[in-house]
Structure 1
Amino acid sequence: MPGLTHEKRCLPPVAGVDEAGRGPLAGPVVAAAVILPPWGVPRGIDDSKKLTAPTRADLCRRLHDCAIVGVGIVEPGEIDTLNIYWATMKAMTLAVDAVAAILGCAPGHVLVDGNRLPRWGYAATPIVGGDALSRSIAAASIVAKHTRDTIMIAAAESYPHYGWHANKGYGAPQHLAALREHGPCPLHRRSFAPVAQAVLAL
């Protein structure tokens, strides 16, 4: 389970940051920043990919109750304008900005999953595989993934043929088949190759 070794090396309060949704063909990229409380942290926090959807939902709710949580969302149109890398960096920045607004000041340090940092003024450290090493980053991964999954499940009600309730916008067979048959909708990332190809085929 992710521990607090990295957090203990940093000036508090420490925010963990992670994102969800870099790879899908549709929907936003979502980042979360989480500052865990000194006590009362929910048990079972782990890399979101290792948890079931119901467990993520429960932990996300409990984290909102006990921790300082910020979320940053960048929509598909802006992803197409910026590209997915810079859109992800913007989502992370928005998430930490939200935490800073709650605190009334910048976090003491920010731990970011990955090997690169946004261009920001925060003291920060990137950690490759951080969602498996840092409890704060793991908590952020849970919030980011559950938040994005919830958005895509809601969007599936308006665009049911893409199967987003199950594939969350990734390039699953049902999604790709629906793209070929129906073309893209406003939530598709038109800069992504399978979507661009579907546009050309119309």
Structure 2
Amino acid sequence: MRFLRIGPLAGLGMLLCLAACGSSPPNQYYRLMPHADPTTARQQPSLGVGPIKIPDYLRRSGIVYSGGGNQLIITELQRWAEPLDEGIKRVLAINLARLLQTDNLRLFPWQLDDMPDYTVEVVVLELDTRADQAVLVADWVVKHAATGRSVTRDITRLQHPLPPGPIQPAELAPAYSALFYQLSEQIAAVIGAADAADTASAAALPGG
């Protein structure tokens, strides 16, 4: 039987290679977080959140942000813990449920025989950084689910300050979370006003 003889330099090279592989930094995972505090909930109004649409360049696990001009930076180690559109839907739903004090919540898609009172659809047009700001531009619509009639449609532009200095990917998850909370506040105000008006109209009807 023949045995391979590994020279000292070759052995050292293998050890260095193994050491390099073993010292690779681990991936870091981030998620968006809701900001609204839990409150005593009721069953009305019922809400449906979704669909949520994002630009194709954001559909990746690495965190994406502007590198200046037309350049985008896609991080290798800093990653989203879930698909970004699903994370946005999740935090919007939690924020809206808490802001409107309702437990009656559905995430898109829902059953046709279980339609909510109001639906919220969001198209994210921009989610990026600009200078020392995180930026969100979103086209959103609130509808009466039963009729499909729009209650309000708007394009919202929001900014949230970032710490001074070079952009750190770890700073973007909390900044984006704050932006989606601001958006949630605007949407909740619209739904709250519409629900109050609908309740008043129903009460004014004979037998209401």
Q: So what's the TM-score if we normalise by structure 2? A: 0.25
In terms of fraction of residues, the more strand-rich structure is: 2
| Greater relative CO, 1 or 2 (CA 8 Å, sep 6+) | 1
Larger radius of gyration: 2
Larger helix share, 1 or 2: 1
